[in-house]
Structure 1
Amino acid sequence: MTKALVVDDSHFMRTVISDILENGGVEVIDTAANGKQAVKKVEELDPDVVTMDVEMPEMNGIEAVEAITERHPTPILMLSALTTEDADATLEAMEKGAVDTFAKPGGTISTELSGHSEELVAAVEDVAAADPTAGHDVQQSAPTTSTPAADADYVENPTLLIGASTGGPNVVESILSALPGEAKFRVLIVQHMPDQFTSRFANRLDQTSEYDIKEAADGDRISGGEGLVARGDYHMQVSGYSNGRLRVRLDQSERRHSVRPAIDVTMESAAEHIMDPLVAVVLTGMGTDGADGIRAVKDAGGSTFAQDEATSAVFGIPERAIETGCVDEVLPADRLTEAITDSIRRST
């Protein structure tokens, strides 16, 4: 049975979360009212997973995540309110070592959370299965490039498709931050993440990369050097492509693999509409989303890559894609940007 430590400064929320987890088959071995208590109890009790509030007295969630990651690495799920401030703080906590996030519906203290019991239990179980050091390590590794970008000769009009879930934000950021602007990719990113978080995630990618990245809106068009992050709770489909510009459509059609946005939806539609060079990469995460998309890109003549098990917080998504036989290379996180750019270099 999964053992959890519940951390929240609200006694009410600690009770609600604990009851939900216990009813879902997760053993809550203790609770903590602030980050300082959490750090001490993680070292004493060695839980399988920690649910971590963001705003707390004495030591907040970001500080607690950093301390736990340094002293006693443990999978951490951030429980965040649906606010801009909490979204920014949660992304920072994930940079410090948290594995994933779960949005508390209705705000910081709300009985609405009980209506999402199954989703919360599933998120806790997914994070408990993660390697707590894999997603953090990639932030410490500078991605490599084999040749200075200025000397490279790239094919025209390439499109890069990136799919990720649990543990993915840090890896996505590491890839984008090292992606040479001269390659002029059109970039489409599907990161399983709650609505309200995807816009903040897009902003972070925009700030740390040479590419102009934003959260996708229905009907958006992008050209080389630009990218879109699929909006939370919306599938992002490539609906048109002409003269190096692609257009996307957002919709809330049926979930695939129980998720929306789905990696497969974006990759399959890109393979259908884009005739120019395609590159697809699937990263850390739980589940099977992305396998069909990788197959579609490969069938369309594109290049395909998957993150390796050693650097994946959760190896589910890459493993399922690899099992299709349609992945060209399986690589550690800090070698993916190099492989992506090499795949679009002109042959000499």
Structure 2
Amino acid sequence: MQKFKVLVIDDSAFMRKVISDIINQDKHLEVIGTARNGEDGLKKVKQLKPDVITLDIEMPVMDGLTALRLIMEEYPTPVIMLSSLTYEGANSTITALQHGAIDFINKTSGPISLDLNKVSEEICSKVKQAATANIEPSDEQAKDQDTYTEFQPQQFKHNETIIAIGVSTGGPKALQQVLSKVPRQFDGTIVIVQHMPAKFTKSLAERLDRLAEIKVKEVQNGELLKKGHAYIAPGDYHLQVKSIGRSLAAVVEQTEPVKGHRPSVNRLFESIADLSTFNKVGVVLTGMGSDGTDGAKLLREKDPSTYLIAESQQTAVIYGMPKSLVEEVNPNLIRPINLIAEALIEVVER
């Protein structure tokens, strides 16, 4: 198996050494160069043509966000951001993900992390995952009618509709593409599980709220859910939905992870399966693994009128979760990300 070539961009010589040593320990990865800031990094990207870049956010001369935008414009390459856990760091990370970064790694001890070795397995796993990511779906692929299934009408029985969305790697950009196209008067309630650690989902919700016509927020335990709103599970907490009379309420809790995930898409889907007076739509977007598939099976079993939508391979950054749904559950609809919102509007307004 060929080795994936990695470029490490960080202003700290110590961090460049630590990250390089971690990556070089993996037999499938090789650091082919390092750079001390974004400007130096751009020259190295052009010269070395890496398969993956790790990119620090806070750097002198040219910061990580500026470098990311230029890299994606001039030499599109999968990028993993290194982020601090501060509020500002979380905001910058979300901005980076929406500008094309594949994923991020926490600097667990702040800007100069002394315990990155604790997350060495995560670093190598994310770098290898990024190396196979789909970062540039063409307009032709996204428009190709042969890539989607035909719209299959479903006989909904109820007046109220809940849409549950599950997404992982590549999610912030995918959610932006969906939620920014949902109209203000949308006649459905949206609940979302995005695989993401604590402290980052609030920044994600705030940024999406600024870009969308509907209200987007990080959900709180016990909150009553409203139409025309999108609610994101807090990082490291499961989100479930329960009915209280004719209303829906969020249950946010920290029981054990489900198959390694907290929040879990399966847990969210399973909870809406028990809602007897709501039409149900399940959506699975980009992400590694199969989270959402078991929950979707239960949704179909408990309510055959459930409508399931998968993002197509043509636009999914990582075609893992939607592929699992397609192969295991046979969704009603497969669509590129740029047409998911249109499909939701059509389903809900029927």
Query: TM-score of the superposition, structure 1-length normalised?
Result: 0.89
Counterpart residue type for residue 324 of structure 1: E
- Which residue of 59, 62, 74 corresponds with 1:59? 62
1:284 aligns with one of 283, 286, 301: 286
Distance 1:173 1:274 in 2: 30
CA distance in 2, matches of 1:338, 1:127: 29
How big is the shift at 1:287?
0.8
Residue 10 of structure 1 is matched in structure 2 by 12
- Counterpart residue identity of residue 43, structure 2: K
Q: Residue 264 in 1 paired to residue 266 in 2?
A: yes
* Letter aligned with residue 308 of structure 1: S
Q: After TM superposition, give the deviation of residue 241 of structure 1 in Å.
A: 4.3
- Residue 181 of structure 2 aligns to which amino acid in structure 1? A
On the 8 A contact 2:72/2:100 being kept in 1, the answer is yes
Query: Does the CA-based 8 Å contact 1:214-1:229 persist in structure 2?
Result: yes
Q: Is the CA contact (8 Å cut-off) linking 1:97 and 1:133 kept in structure 2?
A: no
Cα 1:37–1:336 change in 2 (3 A) is: same
Question: Aligned ranges for residues 29-178 of structure 1 at < 5 Å?
Answer: 29-134=32-137, 156-178=159-181
Counterpart amino acid of residue 2 in structure 1: F
Matches of 1:53 and 1:325 in 2, distance apart? 40
Question: 2:232 matched to 1:229?
Answer: yes
Query: Once the two structures are superposed, what CA deviation does each residue of 1:92-133 show, in whole Å capped at 9, x if it has no partner?
Result: 222222111222112111222211221222121211210122
In structure 1, what is the Cα distance between the partners aligned to 2:164 and 2:177? 15
Letter matched to residue 112 of structure 1 = D
Secondary structure, counterpart of 1:189 in structure 2:
strand
TM-superposed CA distance for 1:40, in Å, is 1.4
Aligned to 1:306: 310
How much does 1:54 deviate? Answer: 0.4
C-alpha distance in 1 between matches for 2:238 and 2:276: 18
Q: Distance in 1 between matches of 2:260 and 2:19?
A: 22
CA distance in structure 2 between the partners assigned to 1:171 and 1:38 by the alignment? 27
Question: Residues 84 and 107 of structure 2 are in contact (CA less than 8 Å); yes or no, is this contact kept in structure 1?
Answer: yes
Letter in 2 for 1:90: T
Displacement of 1:156 in angstroms is: 2.9
Is residue 208 from structure 1 mapped to residue 211 from structure 2 by the alignment? yes
- CA-based RMSD of the aligned residues comes to 2.1
Percentage of matched positions with identical amino acids? 39
CA 1:46 to 1:89, structure 2 compared with 1: closer, same or farther past 3 Å?
Answer: same
Deviation at 1:177, TM superposition (A): 1.2
How far apart are 1:271 and its partner, in Å?
1.3
| Structure 2 contact 237–253 (Cα < 8 Å) conserved | yes
Cross-structure match for 1:322: 326
Distance 2:244 2:268 in 1: 13
Q: Deviations for 1:48-77, whole angstroms, at most 9, x for unmatched residues? A: 111110011111111111111111111001
* Cα contact 2:100–2:173 (8 A) shared by 1: no
1:274 CA displacement:
4.9
Q: CA deviation at 1:202?
A: 0.6
| Unmatched runs of 5 consecutive residues or more in structure 1 | 142-154
User: CA offsets, 1:283-305, max 9 Å, x none?
Assistant: 11111111112223333221110
Q: Please name the residue that 2:341 is paired with.
A: 337
Could you say if the C-alpha distance between residues 126 and 274 of structure 1 is closer, same or farther in structure 2, counting changes exceeding 3 Å?
farther
Q: Secondary structure at the match of 1:336?
A: helix
AA paired with 1:329? L
